[in-house]
C-alpha cells in the first residue's frame, strides 16, 4: 500500500475540505496554540504566518509563529476520524493531483 504524500495546502483548500467545521479551525488558529514562552504567563495564543500541511491520514499540521511573542509554534489538528472530512480530503487529493506533482513534502 502506497503512503499518501504530505501536501502543503492553502487556507482556501482547508476551507473546502472542512466546510462547516472551518470556523472551528479558525478558532484554533486564533486562540488555541501552545507557545512555550507564553505558557509561563498563562496567555492563550494563536499562530500567524503559518504553513498548512495535509498529512497522509488527512490531518493538518500548522507551523508558524506565536501571535503574542513571535516564538516558533506548531499545531496538529486531527480530522482522520471524521468520515465526512476524511472523504472530502480524499476527493481533494484526487481532484488536485496534478497541482501537487512538484509540491509533495
Is residue 80 assigned to a domain? Answer: yes
Q: How confident is the model at residue 2 (pLDDT cuts 50, 70, 90)?
A: low
Among all chains, which residue has been given the C-alpha cell 506533482?
A: 101
pLDDT at 84: 95
In a domain, 1, yes or no: no
SS3 75: strand
Count of structural domains within the chain: 1
Instruction: Summarize the confidence of residues 2-13 as an average pLDDT.
Output: 88
104 inside domain: no
For the stretch 26-44, pLDDT in tens is 999 999 999 999 988 887 8
Q: Which domain holds residue 88?
A: 7-97
Spatial contact of 62 and 85, defined as CB atoms under 8 Å apart: no
- What pLDDT, on a 0 to 100 scale, did the predictor assign at position 5? 85
Residue 85 inside a domain? The answer is yes
Residue 5 CA to residue 16 CA, distance in Å, equals: 19
Q: Does residue 79 lie within any of the structural domains? A: yes
Using the 8-state DSSP alphabet, how is residue 60 labeled? E
Does residue 76 fall inside a structural domain? yes
The grid coordinates listed for 8 are: 502543503
Nearest to 80 by CA among 1, 2, 4: 4
The pTM of this model reads 0.87
Taking residues 93-102, what's their average pLDDT?
Answer: 77
Amino acid at each position: 500500500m502506497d503512503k499518501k504524500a504530505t501536501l502543503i495546502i492553502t487556507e482556501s483548500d482547508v476551507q473546502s475540505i472542512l466546510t462547516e467545521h472551518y470556523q472551528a479551525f479558525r478558532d484554533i488558529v486564533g486562540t488555541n496554540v501552545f507557545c512555550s514562552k507564553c505558557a509561563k504567563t498563562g496567555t492563550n495564543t494563536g499562530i500567524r504566518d503559518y504553513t498548512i500541511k495535509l498529512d497522509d491520514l488527512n490531518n493538518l499540521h500548522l507551523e508558524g509563529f506565536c501571535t503574542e511573542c513571535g516564538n516558533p509554534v506548531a499545531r496538529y489538528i486531527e480530522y482522520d476520524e471524521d468520515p465526512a472530512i476524511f472523504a472530502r480530503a480524499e476527493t481533494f487529493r484526487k481532484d488536485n493531483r496534478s497541482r501537487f506533482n512538484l509540491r509533495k513534502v
